[in-house]
Amino acid sequence: MKRRIRYGIILLFCLIATLGVYGIFFQSRSSDHVLAKVDFSMTAGELAAAFDHDEALSDSLYLYKVLAVTGRVQKVREDETGSYSVTLGASPTGEAIVDCRLDGAFNQQYGNLHPGDSLRLLGICAGRLQNVILVQSIIEK
């Protein structure tokens, strides 16, 4: 009987230690940038113009930095996994300037976004392909 209790206590201790290690190494880090300070604040037009003018310099300034970008919503897309992307433009003319991949942890906020809305997003700059790309973006309140 004492042997069973001893093995039970050891098993319980191992389970608690395993859960502790799991919590340390695999905790969700998707919203860490919410608490991070903003490195640069600008409009979508200013960000796109900076990349148009000198992409290498813009990469050195903005790549992997937290940016606060203000602009008008041109498109809102939801992919097959339920993740949202927003295309911000500088003007109502419809020119796509900044593509923002929205953080999935806040999906309930994104259903009420519509083209023409003006927003300020916080996101991590991932560089430029056709448009400047921000990942893990959230809507700043």
pLDDT in tens, 80-95: 888 888 998 865 555 6
For residues 46 and 108, which has the higher predicted lDDT (pLDDT)?
46
Given pLDDT bands bounded at 50, 70 and 90, which one contains residue 102? Answer: confident
CB 58 within 8 A of CB 36: no
CA 3 to each of CA 6, 7, 9, 13, 38: distance values in angstroms, whole numbers, following the listed order: 5, 6, 10, 15, 57
Q: Is the predicted pLDDT of residue 57 greater than 90, yes or no?
A: yes
For the chain, the domains span: 1-29, 32-139
User: What is the average pLDDT score of the chain?
Assistant: 82
Q: Is the predicted pLDDT of residue 55 greater than 80, yes or no?
A: yes
What's the CATH number for 32-139? 2.40.50.140
Quick one: which of 136, 141, 16 has its CA closest to 85?
A: 136
pLDDT in tens, 113-137: 888 888 899 999 999 888 899 998 8
CB 99 within 8 A of CB 107: no
pLDDT in tens, 16-50: 888 777 777 666 554 444 556 899 999 998 999 89
pLDDT of residue 32: 45
**What is the DSSP track for 105-121?**
GGGGGGGG--TT-EEEE
pLDDT of residue 93: 58
Ranking 41-55, 64-78, 84-98 by mean pLDDT, the lowest is 84-98
